Structure 1
Amino acid sequence: MPEGNKTEKATPKKRRDQRKKGNVFLSNDAVSVVTLLAGYAALRITMPSAVEHLSSFFRLCLFSAQTLSASALAGQLPEILKEGAFTLFMAVGPTMLVIVAAAMGATFFQTKLLVSGQSIQPKFSRINPLEGFKKLFSLRSVVEAGKGILKITILLVIIYHFLSGCISVFVNYMNTDITAVSKDILSRLSSMILQIIIAFIVVAAGDFLYQWWDYERQMKMTKQEIKEEYKQTEGDPQIKGKIREAQRKMSQSRMMQQVPQADVVIRNPTHVAVALRYKPETDAAPVVLAMGLDELALRIVKVAEEHKIPTVENVPLARSIYASAELNRQIPPELYGAVADVLVYIYRLNNRDLSKELNQTDQHGAT
């Protein structure tokens, strides 16, 4: 897909899918700088203890070499090796643990504790020469190459300044106490490392911003991709529309089948029609069997006429029932009186003396 067509921000679904695949935002330079800072801090803190352990071990080695015979020294060698391993762990172990913890923390902080095995699964595209050739001349490759050259240049410049500053004092070291020389060299090395860290922090900040921009650029989607994703998650709008239409027709069909059971249809000549049933022995109040607008209203009236069900034109009442009543439910109490009048009129036309029951219904609504 051409990059120019990807103008839309990535949807939450795409971000979740890409995250499952292990494709998340990550700045390796930021991880390196955090690791370097943590290692430097740990080294400064553990340096006195490390020097003490190393000094003790070297004294043990010198003492054993001076006082023990060759055969005795050979017998003592396993113990010396164990002591050497312990000394190495005590001198370097804490710093290494801090470096590992810092690297993991910086990585998980950026990836939000993501652990995915899909990113290490074998893929043909990774060994495809054509894909490799394309990546070689991609924007990312150019940026990574430029970033590598910049870091090497920074290192060379800082090391050059460090060595040029030390050359002038190297001669003085010949007549200086070894302890003072060691402290001076360590101080200069510490200063050089701080300069490297500061320079790399600037590089890492730029890399962080670039990686974020590049990640968002790659995550962008085309409008067609968003439409396809919507179809996959929400369903094809056309299909959903057809389903709703089928459901509406089925509902209308069931409703129309109830019209012949109605006692009266109240209509607003052509726009609204409501079919009501009232059986005093089973219904506490008139029940809405069918109602509709426009074409559906005409269909209700037509079915009513075919089954010789009386229709009454009452514009306000038809509109009120349609607006406030529900299908297959009793009409609201505030409409009892108006509907009772209509039913009384119909019953009188049919010579059915049910006005007493209807008046009782009206009184019930009034209470």
Structure 2
Amino acid sequence: MSDEDSSEKTQDPTQKRLDDAHQRGDVAKSQEVNTWFMIAGATLVLSSFSTSVGNGLQNPLRNLIENSWMIRTDGAGLMALTQSLLYATIAAMGVPFLMLIIAALAGNMLQHRLVFSAEGLKPKFSKISPMAGAKRLFGKQAAANFLKGLFKVIALGAVMVAILWPERHRLDAMIRLDIGAIMGLTIALTLKLMAAVVAMLAAVAIADFFFQYRTWYEKQKMSLQEVKEEHKQSEGDPHIKGRIRQIRQQRMRKRMMAAVPKASVVITNPTHYSVALSYESGMAAPVCVAKGVDSVAFKIREVAKANDVPIIENVPLARALYATVKIDEEIPVEHYHAVAEIIGYVMGLKRGLSGRRR
């Protein structure tokens, strides 16, 4: 593979790559989804709370106008009036305003989990670069925004014409109606318009979200070299891990060879396996102090001969012990009988040798 091919970002991003992007505040986000939630929330607020908000603001304002001659003009009086109007406004608009805040948060949380990052506040020279600016003006994102804006203008115009044109005669007659009827008609037409806009923008928001997510996902893709580097960082360099494994094996081999002279017996398969066992009176079971195959097995036998450690040939037992027992662990229960016979035989040999010396 050529260098050009290996540098192309053709690999799907790893989970670590996506998590790092999220920590930087780089997430897939469609502003159209936020706009839809805000307009849908405003429509819900207008349809549910328009009467209560109107009454909540109408009564204090009516009292203010009707009793204006009683208002105290000193500092304390004006402060009390301001506070009363503020409390009335909060009481009337508190719940609708809270619903709008919830709608704004829902628009973001639906697209991605919460993000707390100061990465966007850091100065970046790419933001003032002419080349980067040209890419933003004439790139794929700019073209998509232009087409999206053009579609919204045309669609909104069509919606307004479709709804208001049949009502043109009622709109002409509004100049002869009282203020109450005008307000009712205005609210009804406004809700009708907003409901149609919400339905139209839902399609825009869905399409824009998938476009923004796909654009963001393509930006997160990785080259083969980046995948390899990340694998090295997360799993460790294979060469270093191999070297560490080699050092550990060398240390374990030295420790085993140092323990072989103290072993009670070495059980071997002469061609491949050697297992050194240690047993002393009072121990629950013999313990494996060294084991190995091929060259290591030969070295164990060599050290055992040099230190007069008995070497017993038992092919099936040597294979079984090598496969089932670890260094510094007691032998398994199923091998107690076979090993006990060998240990007994070795101890008998030692007693016979010591008797002859006497």
TM superposition score category, shorter chain reference: 0.7 to 0.9
CA, structure 1 residues 165+118, in 2 after alignment: closer, same or farther (shift >3 Å)?
same
Pick aligned residue for 1:43 from 41, 46, 57:
46
Is the CA contact 2:159–2:196 (under 8 Å) kept in the aligned structure 1?
yes
Q: Give me the whole-angstrom Cα distance separating, in 2, the residues matched to 1:301 and 1:269.
A: 9
Choose 173-182 or 11-20, whichever is displaced more. Answer: 173-182
RMSD of Structure 2 on Structure 1 (CA): 3.5
Counterpart of 2:45 in structure 1: which amino acid?
A
Is the CA contact 1:39–1:96 (under 8 Å) kept in the aligned structure 2?
no
CA, structure 1 residues 75+284, in 2 after alignment: closer, same or farther (shift >3 Å)?
closer
CA, structure 1 residues 185+338, in 2 after alignment: closer, same or farther (shift >3 Å)?
closer
Is the CA contact 2:6–2:225 (under 8 Å) kept in the aligned structure 1?
no
Q: What is the deviation of 1:250?
A: 0.8
Is the CA contact 1:6–1:220 (under 8 Å) kept in the aligned structure 2?
yes
Choose 230-239 or 152-161, whichever is displaced more. Answer: 152-161
CA, structure 1 residues 157+279, in 2 after alignment: closer, same or farther (shift >3 Å)?
closer
Counterpart of 2:37 in structure 1: which amino acid?
V
Relative to the length of structure 1, the TM-score reads 0.79
CA, structure 1 residues 308+156, in 2 after alignment: closer, same or farther (shift >3 Å)?
same
| Residue-by-residue CA offset, 1:316-342 (whole Å, 9 max, x unaligned) | 232233233332344445445444554
Q: Give me the whole-angstrom Cα distance separating, in 2, the residues matched to 1:121 and 1:2.
A: 33
Quote the residue 1:15 is aligned against. 18
Give the secondary structure class of the aligned counterpart of 2:300: helix
Q: What is the deviation of 1:33?
A: 0.8
Q: What is the deviation of 1:80?
A: 11
Counterpart of 1:36 in structure 2: which amino acid?
I
Give the secondary structure class of the aligned counterpart of 2:275: strand
Which one scores higher on RCO, CA 8 angstroms, separation ≥ 6? 2
Q: What is the deviation of 1:158?
A: 2.6
Q: Give me the whole-angstrom Cα distance separating, in 1, the residues matched to 2:5 and 2:316.
A: 61
Counterpart of 1:111 in structure 2: which amino acid?
H
Q: What is the deviation of 1:351?
A: 6.9
Quote the residue 1:361 is aligned against. none
Query: Within 5 A, what are the aligned runs for 1:130-169?
Result: 130-169=131-170
Quote the residue 1:225 is aligned against. 226
CA, structure 1 residues 164+267, in 2 after alignment: closer, same or farther (shift >3 Å)?
same
Q: What is the deviation of 1:94?
A: 4.4
Counterpart check, 1:248 vs 2:272: no
Give the secondary structure class of the aligned counterpart of 1:240: helix
Quote the residue 1:119 is aligned against. 120
Q: Give me the whole-angstrom Cα distance separating, in 1, the residues matched to 2:324 and 2:174.
A: 102
| Residue-by-residue CA offset, 1:236-283 (whole Å, 9 max, x unaligned) | 122111101110111011111222333443321211112334454x65
Q: Give me the whole-angstrom Cα distance separating, in 2, the residues matched to 1:78 and 1:33.
A: 41
- Unaligned 5+ runs, structure 2: none
Q: Percent identity?
A: 31
Quote the residue 2:325 is aligned against. 325
Query: Within 5 A, what are the aligned runs for 1:175-190?
Result: 175-190=176-191
CA, structure 1 residues 268+165, in 2 after alignment: closer, same or farther (shift >3 Å)?
same
Quote the residue 1:313 is aligned against. 313
- Unaligned 5+ runs, structure 1: 356-367
Counterpart of 1:292 in structure 2: which amino acid?
G
Relative to the length of structure 2, the TM-score reads 0.81
Q: What is the deviation of 1:100?
A: 2.5
